[in-house]
Structures are given as structure tokens and as C-alpha cells.
Structure 1
Amino acid sequence: MSRTLPGPSDHVVVVGAGLSGLSAALHLLGAGRSVTVVERDPLPGGRAGRLDLAGYRVDTGPTVLTMPDLADEAFAAVGDSLYDRVELIPLHPAYHARFADGSSLDVHTEADAMAVEVRRFAGAAEAAGYRRLRAWLEQLHRVQMRRFIDANFDSPLGLLNGDLARLVALGGFGGLDSRIGSFLRDERLRRVFSFQALYAGVPPARALAAYAVIAYMDTVAGVYFPRGGMHALPRAMADAAADAGAELRFGQRVTRLERSGERITAVVTDQNRIPCDAVVLTPDLPVAYGLLGRRPRRPLRLRHSPSAVVLHAGTDRTWPQLAHHTLFFGAAWRRTFDELTRTGRLMSDPSLLVTRPTATDPGLAPPDRHLHYILAPCPNTDVGPGVRAWADLAPRYRSQLLRELERRGLDGIEAAIEKECLVTPATWQLQGHAAGTPFSAAHTFAQTGPFRPRNLVRGTENAVLAGCGTTPGVGVPTVLLSGKLAAARITGVPRPPSARARTSPPPTKESAV
């Protein structure tokens, strides 16, 4: 059994109403705790926020939901249901991939549909390899979820269990590139099932095969989009928490924590003082450690994931070759990852993600208008251009990206933009994200599982961390779990999922993409 906080925990203050904080709040409420959630912004969501650009309703963070049962588990803790509050639209295809040689591929999460598409794209042998890869991804997920992802660690000794041997037998500690290559020979297909390592901040050539579990979430488990945008999820979680008795205080910035010895006795905001028995801190790690006045001792400095430039563009037209998600792969691959993680240069041959949420939910834009999010991975401010450099670099890089998309078939895109918002690493850093990246600490081996910054902090008895910088890591499913694991540090062993929690969403009205 993992450690829990000593002493009373009747009233818990959760700092931050992002996905991790709201998940923690719901699990705490379900365990009978009184909960106050304090959020600096006027709306819930954190990274999964909302921006209104003259009628364009822009999600500022994640663009899809995978593994929705993990979100539903938080609702079920208070006898509620994600599926009663949010309409989830399955995306078919989950992605559309376009390659530098002019070829293209629809990425389906349904096995037979994807096998047919792979056969068309690369032949029968690759389709058979895809089925073997899918079976391996499913095994990898089963082995990792219960003991390595949905788990609190008190020391590396927590790794020593039967599932570790199973993970070793599955090749989880080999290289990701070589393991994917053992199933698929076509280099373009290998990219589709390995680019996800970038979410974890590790190039596929240097990533452990265990990180393919991220590809499982994207290419096997199903990809969904909430009606009303991704912000509908934190909004529904906040509503469920309020209905279950939580007090939600928006527009309040936490300025300090009052202490008595090793215990936090109150959370102080710019408006009032809130006494507490325990606190859950969800800001990025440097902010949380600053409030605590404590920093864990680590032999090596934390390495952070690459960042991203995002252009949110409201346009008066769209392009028929765009799905909800379209991946534009450049010809370069290894060089691109070296630029992002080692040399600190902007991509010389960029791979880009263009998201068109209005393909699924036209109501996110004014009539006859469209939303496009153009995401370009870039170095973080530790290895690449710093905050000041982006003041001059941002407009030039925006123009460069739009010219590149014009070259790749989105003719007239710059002229079509009516409203826009450009986000750069400088933006992220000003929002409090270390190294100017919203993707937090990279998932190197030394920063994964029991080696990742723990959700308990030495020298403070009644504080616990949640969010993408701590256990288990980056991504919507894992951030939701981080809130659950933080709550478990306060309440004890997590309750088993409610009978209301489903392993997959109920049938919904599907939207052609």
C-alpha cells in the first residue's frame, strides 16, 4: 500500500481547476471530504481552457479525448456520469496523415477498418504486421496500466512486481523505433505509430518501447471529441463537483501557503484566507515548489519536453483534404527530432498538425466559418530561442508556417484568416510553464514512474501534487489519473470504479470527418 498523508484531512483545498485538479476534487468528494477549488482564471480548464475570438470558440489546449472511461471514473466517484453531461463524438478517422512523397493514409482506431486502409496503402504484408502491432499494443497497455500508470510509487522498489517481468517479456525496455519496426517495414507507417513519443518529450530513436502505450491511446482505444469542444470536459467536471458540494472560487490567485511546522494550515489568495487540513497543488512544478518553499533533491536537473507554436485561425474557408486532425509529415525525421531536443533549432523540414474542430462541430465558429489550429513542435526555451527572442521571431515564424502549408496544398490559407491568436514558448512561459513548454518534464527513463517528481514533497506533511509534471505524466488520460492518485494520497487506496463507470462510451451520434 502506498503512503498516505498523516493527520486530519476533512477539508481539502485544491489549487487549480484544470483537469487534474477537478479529477482530484471529484475523487475527494466521493470519499467524503469537503473540498474548495481555487482557480486564478475566470473559467475552469487550466491548459484545457477556452478563448473566444469574435464568435470563434477556441480550445487552448488538448484537441481530443482518448480513454474517456478514465474521465468517467472521476464523475462516477460522486455518482455522476461523463456520458450524461457531455456528448462524445467518435472521430473516424482519428487522424489523416499526409507524407512528403504525396501519399496519404487515414488512421482508424477500429481494427478491420485500419487493416483495410493499411493494405491499400502499403500491401497485405503490412496489414498483417499492423494486426500483430495492435495486439502487442493492447498487451502493453494491459500490463502497464494497473501497476505502472495508475499507481502511486513510494520508491523504485515499487517496480518489482509480476507485471515488470511481463513488460520485459513484451520488449518494453527495448527501443521504440526497433520494436515498431519489427511489425512494420514501411517507414511512413512506422512514423504513424511512433511520433507520439514526442508528446513524452523523447525522440522515437531514443524512446523506450514502453512509451508505445501512448500510441495505443491514439490509434487503438478510440478518439473522441466533445460536442462544444474539449473545454466541455472541464466545464462538466466543475459542474459535477459543484453539484456534489464543492466550493469553486474562480478569479482568485494563490499568493502563499500558511504553515505550522510541516503542515499547511491555510491557502491565502489575493482575496481571502482559506483554512485547510490538506492541499492539492496542480500548478506547474516550479510554481508549486515556490508556494511550498520546498524543492526535492534530484541528482540531475529536470529535462523538459519540446514546446510548440500554435496558430489558432478563424477562416472564411476550409480545404477538403483536411480531416478533424491532419498530420503533415516532412521528409526529414531523425534530423527533426535532433533539432527539437538537441540543437535547439526550429524545424528545417517541419512536420505539422492541423486540427479542424469545425469538421466535427460546426457550432464552434460563426455560420459558414471554420476553425483551424496549426501546431508546430519547437524547442523549449532551455535549448532553443528564449522568451525575448520570440518577440521578433514569432511573426516571422508564423509567416513561414503559412507559406509551408500553402506549399503543401492549403492554397490561400493566409488570406482566408479573419481572426487569429498566435501562441509561442514565450506565451507558455508567461503562463507559468517551465522552459516555455505546456508538456512539462520529459518522460526520459530517469523521469518516468518512480523516478518522476513524486506527488509527495519532503518537509510538508499534508500537501500533494497533481498535474502533468508529477505521477504519472503528460496527456489528458494521465493528467486525469494524476488527480485520482493525488486524492488517494489523502484518502487511502482508491475506491474501485463505480458500477456506473463504463469501459467504453455508449453509442453516440457519429460525425463523418
Structure 2
Amino acid sequence: MGHRPGGPGCTGGPLVKSVTGPAEEVVVVGAGLSGLAAALYLTGAGCSVTLVERADDVGGRVGRYRFADYEIDSGATVLTLPALIDDALAAVGADASNTTPPLRIRPLDPAYHARFADGSELRVFADADRMSAEVARACGPDAAVRYRRLRDWLGRVFRAEYDEFLAANFDSPLDMVRYRDKRAALIELIRLGAFGRLGTRVTRTLRDPRLTRLFTFQALYAGTAPEQALGVYGAIPYMDTALGVYFPDGGMRSVAETLAGAFTDAGGRLELGTEVTGLDYRRNRARRVLLADGRALPCDAVVLTADLGSLDRFGARPRRGLRASPSAVVAHGTVPAEIAQSWPVQAHHTIDFGEAWDRTFAEITPWRGGRLMSDPSLLLTRPALSDPGLYLTRGETRYEPFSLLAPCPNLDSAPLDWDRLGSAYLRELLAVLEERGYHGVAAQFTVDRLDTPATWLDQGMLAGTPFSAAHLFRQTGPFRTRNLVRGRENVVLAGCGTTPGVGVPTALLSGKLAAQRVVGENRGVRTRAPATVRRPSGTEAVN
């Protein structure tokens, strides 16, 4: 590995290690958000980039499921920090307003609607005044003062860590003290108490258990319980509750499609339905990317976005002893709109909390002996309430897309037979919703797709979880699996398993950080003539 100046987005000026040798021909494996971002930054830096994806669509964990008369987002439904999308597009001189079609992203207001076992409800607004009023209404004026205090602390934690920890490459944990800006950020985080426990800090500040849940459930994104999560993960609830949650017209899948279109318009080559079987090495350099159809793509460097559970076949062994995050059961389908309109909550995102809380985390997050939730807390997603264009009509009945997510243990902690258990567990969850007032959901929810830990495992995901490695202290920040592959001179990782971690904004940052490892300082934008998209049928479509 060599050293080049910090690339796009770097601050503080440290020299970061990068691949050695030429970096003119780069192959990016996987067209999820991290792969798309990496491809855009590399193309903008003057590289000739080929992006290969085994699925028929782009998006990865932010993709789509197609059914007879509708489509639905297959993965993440929460979008924060949309400016990172603008940054990736700007790398090739594009912006959301001039893509075809234009990408329109709107704030969700409220971001979430929380419902509790005692019948009370809370909406989450990004605006501090509106949220204070909501907290005062539901929990009293003293709670509103406490909310302001917590919001201020979460914001200071976020600002202290973003540039130097979330949006930066690390060559070593010693970077935290070796470079002035990182050292200053570390000192500020220590001063803020950000290496204490998040759950303890939030509970002590807010006191009301309903508010505590609303500002700590995001620890699940990091793969740990609130009482175990470090305060630095306060950045996640800050993004969710203060910086705003957004939704693009047409669904989350529109983000990936827009990034892909900008990439091909800038001269990049995208191959869909193309399975990569391995990398051909000469000594420690990848020389060719091997495809299932018998072809081989020559390369100067490779950006690999495969899940940590699939790295072996690419000659990039994952770190030993990784602990995986909890997993999830997710059901996708449709419900009659008239029935859904009678439900107790009308919101894009509803978090329906069970009465238990600490017990829920104790059940799904232990590394051995995990269990299904005995008192489920569930995420309900109804995107047509924000984008009416997603409604569909069958005969004289109008339907809306509907997704139900239930956290569950991963296969390492609970090796359950999900092929046998999945449908029965879904019936139990729907019965719980019926009891909570979501009448008609058990009988009228037409399920077109059920994802379980077995589904994720079949896709090569670590321990059957789409949330990859848990953000334990030894698996986070400079201690997370590095994006430079040990013993490989020109292979770089991107995606939620490597730095900076799990989530939509972090996936976009991961692609940017991977591009830095390949080219170092951004060498400027170079636009080529539009390229073709090679589809599995062999037909060619001009983007």
C-alpha cells in the first residue's frame, strides 16, 4: 500500500494509505448504495469504471421487489442526510434536479409516529420547537426542557465525530491521537461523555420511559442494546430526530436508480444480472474479476461491496471473531386502503412499542441463546401516505403497499429453522397487531414477500442479518473491519460491514471512503459519452 493525500471529504490533512500502482481501470463489485457512490466518485476522479451487479436491479439493501401490479422497497425505508446523495451526484457534475427523471426528496413530517402499550402516542418532528411542543403535550413541560437538553448533547456528539470519525478513513487506531484534528475531536467526545453508555445518559436526562425508548431504539441500527451502546452512537438518534427523515418520490429505490443513471451518463459501464465468482490474483494483486458467464474483466483495482459473510470467495478473508447484529423478519405486501385508514395511527413510519423494553433487547441481542420477542415492538411502513402515486387499484378496491418489520436474533445467537418457522411467526405478529387495534391486518394483508434470517443468509450475509457486524467498541470506528484488505495490494472494501458502518448515510460515505483509497486526492471530473447498461437478457438499453 502507498500513501496519497486525503481524498474527497478528508479533513485534517493526514496521509491515508491507498492502493499502489495504476488506478485507471477499476471494477466495482455490487451496485448497492456503497458501490454506486464509489463508482461515481471514481468516475469523477477520472477512472474508467465498470460496475457489476448480480441482481437485475441496482440498490442492494435499498432495492426493490417487483410483483404483478406494483413494486415495493426491499430494504431500508429511513433516509437521513440526503445531502450525501447530492455529493455523490456532484462528483460527476450531476444534481438531483437534472437527472432523468428528476429525484425529488421530501421531508417526512413527522418522521415517526410512536405508539405505546399504555395507549399514549408521540410524533417525532425535526423542528426543535414543534418537537418541544409535542413532548410537552404528551409528557409535560418539564420533559420538554429535558428534551432540549438531550437534543443539544446529541448534536454536539454528532458534530464532534462526523468529520473525523464517520466521514474519514483510518489506517490505525493511533490515528485518533496522531493527527491534530482527530485528536481534538476525540478530546471533545471524551469531554462530552460520549464513551459512557447511551442508554444511561438518555434515561438520566429524559426520565420519561416513553421518551427514552424514542431516543434509544436506534441502538438496534448499531446492533446493540441501549444500555450497552456507547454515547457516540447518539449521532444516530440525532440524525433521525433532529436532522430529519426524508422520502423520495417513487420510493427509496429511486435513490439507487438516480445514482446509477448519473454513473452511466458520465461514461461508466453498468452490468446487471452479472455474477462475480472470484478474483484472479497474481501475487497479491487482483488482475481480473471473474464472472459466472466465463468472462474476465481486467482491472487495476477492485472495490468489493460483498457482505462480510461472502468475502472468502474473493480471497479477502473477514476478520475472525466478528459478532453480528440482530436480524429482522420483514413482510412485504398490500392491504386494502379502506381497512388501513381505520387503523389507530396514520403515518408513513409507525413504531408500535410493546410494554416490555429492556426484556426485548435482552431477548434479541445476546450473542448466544437469543429468543424471539415475547412482547414485540414493531415498525410499520406505509409509503403511499407520503407518495399517493404508490396506491394501486384492483377492480374497484384501492390498495396500498405495506411492510412490517420485527427485530429478531441472528442465526449465531438463535439458529432457528426459519423455513419452517417463518410463516407461523408472521401469523403471531399479525395477531398481535390485531389485538393492538390494527383491525383487518391479519385477514387482509396479502403477503408477497417474507424475509427472514434464512433469506439473508442465502444472500451471503453474516449470521443471517442485513445489519452486518454489530457496533461493539472493538468493531467500530478505527477498530471496525478496515476497507483496505490485508495482504491484497489493490482490493478495497465498501459497504455496511466496513467503515464507517450500518445505515443509508454511512453506506454512501463508505463508497466515498473506498474511492479515496483508490485515487487519493480527487483528480477532477471527466465526463464521457453515455455508456450502455448490459442486462442479463443480452439486450442493450441506453441510459
TM-score by length of 2: 0.89
Q: Structure 1's 336 and 303: CA in aligned 2 closer, same or farther, altered over 3 A?
A: same
Structure-1 residue corresponding to 2:314: 291
Q: Which residue of 1 aligns with 2:404?
A: 374
Instruction: Determine which of 455, 468, 472 is the counterpart of 1:427.
Output: 455
Distance in 1 (CA, whole Å) between partners of 2:378 and 2:257 is 29
> Are 2:325 and 1:308 aligned?
no
1:281 aligned onto 2:304: yes
Check 1:183–1:430 CA distance in 2 against 1; reply closer, same or farther (3 A cut).
same
The answer on whether the counterparts of 1:314 and 1:365 sit within 8 Å (CA) in structure 2 is: no
Separation in 1, partners of 2:196, 2:521: 32
Q: Shift of residue 394 of structure 1?
A: 0.8
* SS of match in other structure, 1:47: helix
User: Which residue of structure 2 aligns with residue 94 of structure 1?
Assistant: 111
1:201-212 equivalences under 5 Å are 201-212=223-234
1:14 is matched by which residue type in structure 2?
A: V
Residue 364 of structure 1, aligned match among 390, 410, 425: 390
Q: Which runs of 4+ in 1 moved over 4 A?
A: 494-497
What is the aligned partner in structure 1 of residue 360 from structure 2? 336
Q: Does the CA-based 8 Å contact 1:20-1:483 persist in structure 2?
A: yes
Residues 57 and 365 in structure 1, CA contact (< 8 A), matched pair in contact too? no
Deviation at 1:258, TM superposition (A): 1.0
CA 1:496/1:339 → structure 2, altered by over 3 Å: closer, same or farther?
farther
- In 2, the alpha carbon distance for the partners of 1:287 and 1:116 equals 48
CA 1:296 to 1:399, structure 2 compared with 1: closer, same or farther past 3 Å?
closer
Structure 2 Cα separation of the partners of residues 183 and 11 of structure 1: 53
SS state at 1:326 partner = strand
Is the partner of 2:328 in helix, strand or coil? strand
Aligned-pair CA distance for 1:83: 4.5
Could you tell me how far 1:361 is from its partner in structure 2? 1.3
Task: Select 1:77's aligned residue among 68, 87, 91.
Answer: 91
1:53 and 1:419 in contact (8 A); partners too: no
- Give the SS at the match of 1:182: helix
Letter in 1 for 2:71: R
Structural mapping, 1:214-363, within 5 Å = 214-271=236-293, 272-292=295-315, 294-295=316-317, 298=320, 301-317=321-337, 318-319=340-341, 320=343, 321-342=345-366, 343-363=369-389
1:200 aligned partner: 222
> Could you say if the C-alpha distance between residues 94 and 323 of structure 1 is closer, same or farther in structure 2, counting changes exceeding 3 Å?
same
Q: CA deviation at 1:297?
A: 5.4
1:26 to 40, 44, 62: 40
Partner Cα distance (1:104, 1:316) in 2: 24
Contact 2:46 2:524 in 1 (8 A): no
TM-score where L is the length of structure 1: 0.94
How much identity, in percent, do the aligned residues show?
54
Q: Distance in 2 between matches of 1:289 and 1:354?
A: 36
Residues 314 and 372 of structure 1 are in contact (CA less than 8 Å); yes or no, is this contact kept in structure 2? Answer: yes
Residue in 2 aligned with 1:179?
A: 201
SS at match of 2:16: coil
The one-letter amino acid paired with 2:513 is L
The unaligned stretches of length 5 or more in structure 1 are: 498-513
| Post-superposition offset of 1:289 | 3.4
Q: Distance in 1 between matches of 2:78 and 2:266?
A: 26
CA contact (8 A) 1:72 1:83 kept: no
The Cα offsets for residues 126-154 of structure 1, whole Å up to 9 and x where unpaired, read as 11111111111211111110011101111
Q: Distance in 1 between matches of 2:97 and 2:306?
A: 28
Label 1:495 to 1:485 Cα distance change in 2 as closer, same or farther (>3 A). Answer: farther
Alignment match, 2:419 = 391
Give the Cα–Cα distance (whole angstroms) in 2 for the partners of residues 382 and 186 of structure 1.
34
Which residue pairs with 1:467 in the alignment?
A: 495
Q: Secondary structure at the match of 2:448?
A: strand
Alpha-carbon distance in 1 for matches of 2:524, 2:209: 42
The 3-state SS of whatever aligns with 1:308 is strand
Give the 3 Å change call, closer, same or farther, for CA 378–240 of structure 1 in structure 2: same
Instruction: Provide the C-alpha distance between the structure 2 equivalents of 1:375 and 1:282, rounded to a whole number of angstroms.
Output: 25
| Secondary structure at 1:222 match in 2 | coil
Matches within 5 A, 1:136-215: 136-160=153-177, 161-215=183-237
